[in-house]
Amino acid sequence: MDDKKDQNISTTPGESSGRLPPETPDPVITPLKVTAREEGAGHADGRNQSFRYYALLVAALLILTSGGLWLFSYLSRNPLPSGTGRNQKQLSEKTPEAVPSTVPATSQPPAEQAQSDAQNKKEEAEQKFADFLKAKKELDEKGVAEWGGEGYQRLLQLAQAADAALMREEFAAAAEGYTHASAVALSLKAGMVDALSDILEQGRRALKEGDGKKAERLFRLALMIEPAHPVALHNLDRANNCGKVLELLQSAARHEEGNSLSSTRDDYQEAVRLDPESEEARAGLARVTGLIASRQFDELMSGGITALHAHDYGRARQLLLKARSINPDSPEVNDALAQADSALKRARIAELQNEAAAAERSEDWTGALAAYQNLLSLDGSIQFALQGKERALKRKEMEEDITSYLARPEQLETDGSLNRARALLGEARRMEPRGPRLSRLITELDTLVTAARTTVPVIIESDGLTEVAVYKVGKLGRFQSKELSLRPGTYTVTGARSGYKDVRRSLSVKAGSTSLRITVSCTEKI
């Protein structure tokens, strides 16, 4: 029952009735571009459509009711009309004599034929009406009233004329009218892609102009045509933030007029965060950021030059480096920075020179060498640094050698070490200037060398039967007692006798000793 009602109810506005021209060709309508409609007009049009919708619903119900009563009355008066399946079967069961000879068994009376043709036309009109309703419903769900333009108005006019013909029971004209209206609907549906493109473009222009409400309406309309369209979804969010972005842009303009560039930048940054595609916000942020950087550059340059003139080269360089990070290609900052670096280098050279001189005066040759090496790292061509490095290195090595002999005097027990120590001592005595430290080291080494060269009396006692020998001295032969003069060191004394076990004694001669005595004899028989 509900389906029957839907087929007889038109959702088109019920404007003044009129008959459809009998020879109207099938129209081909191209949807026009979307035109923005005023808010008030939209509401009034909606109320008129609702009124016309319910008026047409009542009319359609009356038509269905009257048609049903008429059909019931007709069937009551004609219980066995020809053309139906059941009556055809009953007629076939009658004898040939029961059928009038002047009428063929398969033919219908003219009245019944006319009624059957009328019923077919009615059913055709109702089917065309249902097809039209389906097509129009699909378009309405896509918001065709907003973008259909003249094509949609033509569809409404055709549907209105077809509705009027249906109400007058002019079923052929109604079917033809609904056919034309469906053709217009099909044409509108085919033009939805172009309509969607035009709607999106209008929405973008509205965003650019700051009209957030219009942009939101257009992008929502685009989503009616294609619900998941990514561009429409993305720009709908932009449209929702359009008002806030506009307020921030206006606030940024006020702050810039008040020369509050920091607040201006904050407003533009927030606007870009809300709408990264806002050209005005991005351009404003870039411009104000440049102004702030230019102001900072000027302040840093001024501070750097002031510090340079005050000989505060460290602070001058610090400020100028920051200025160069803002504007690396500025000749002004590069020249000032070169002056600061040159002044810092000269100051550092003087500082290291004083440091090296102080280390030399205190005979800190390790410190002096480090200072000269740092000087040469700044400028490898500084002559006094080259000479100072050589001098410091030589004095440092000399002191280390003397200190090594003093720490291990036993090195002087060998002739080679003693000779090297004597040569080192002579070189140290020729060194000028000679400070207290070097003089002390020379004195201590001289004492060791003198002691190492001073012999100590050593008495060797034996039994007159044992052959005695002293390594580094020679064979002494047999004797009862013999005195030798030996330099400080360690000596090995051996004794040998036929038939007896050899003996070996170690003799350590210390510098400064008065005399030493040792006994060597073989007493243990083999």
Task: For residue 465, give the CATH number of its domain.
Answer: 2.60.40.1120
Collect all residues with Cβ–Cβ distance below 8 Å to 168 and sequence separation of at least 6: 19
Same domain, residue pair 9 and 142: yes
Instruction: Give the pair of three-digit tokens for residue 80.
Output: 């066995």
Same domain, residue pair 429 and 462: no
**pLDDT attached to residue 127:** 94
> Furthest-apart CA pair in the chain: how many Å?
190
**Tally of domains within the chain:** 4
Which range, of 89-103, 217-231, 388-402, 489-503, averages the lowest pLDDT?
A: 89-103
> pLDDT band for position 360 (50/70/90)?
very high
Same domain, residue pair 153 and 274: no
Same domain, residue pair 117 and 172: yes
pTM above 0.85, yes or no: no
Is 234 within a domain?
A: no
Same domain, residue pair 151 and 263: no
Quick check: helix, strand or coil at residue 486? strand
CATH number (domain holding residue 348): 1.25.40
Cα distance between residue 152 and residue 188, in whole Å: 8
Instruction: Give percent of the chain with pLDDT exceeding 70.
Output: 79
**pLDDT attached to residue 109:** 74
Instruction: Give the pair of three-digit tokens for residue 389.
Output: 């490095």
Is 224 within a domain?
A: no
**pLDDT attached to residue 510:** 86
Side chain identity at 287, as an amino acid letter?
R
Same domain, residue pair 346 and 384: no
- Phi and psi, residue 237, nearest 5°: -65, -40
Same domain, residue pair 120 and 177: yes
Same domain, residue pair 374 and 316: no
Which range, of 26-35, 198-207, 439-448, averages the lowest pLDDT?
A: 26-35
Is 235 within a domain?
A: no
Same domain, residue pair 330 and 410: no
Same domain, residue pair 436 and 458: no
Cα distance between residue 81 and residue 69, in whole Å: 17
- At 157-184, the pLDDT tens digits run 999 999 999 999 899 999 999 999 999 9
Is 180 within a domain?
A: yes
User: Residue 510 sits in which domain range?
Assistant: 454-519
Give the chain's mean pLDDT.
Answer: 81
**pLDDT attached to residue 501:** 95
Domain boundary among 361, 382, 408: 361
Collect all residues with Cβ–Cβ distance below 8 Å to 97 and sequence separation of at least 6: none
Same domain, residue pair 186 and 63: yes
pLDDT average, residue stretch 271-297: 91
Which range, of 118-132, 236-250, 364-378, 459-473, averages the lowest pLDDT?
A: 236-250
Same domain, residue pair 372 and 438: yes
Q: Which residues pair with 490 in a beta bridge?
A: 508
Is 211 within a domain?
A: no
Domain boundary among 311, 342, 361: 361
**pLDDT attached to residue 96:** 40
Collect all residues with Cβ–Cβ distance below 8 Å to 224 and sequence separation of at least 6: 141, 142, 143
For the cut 60, the answer to whether the pLDDT of residue 95 exceeds it is: no
pLDDT average, residue stretch 284-305: 93
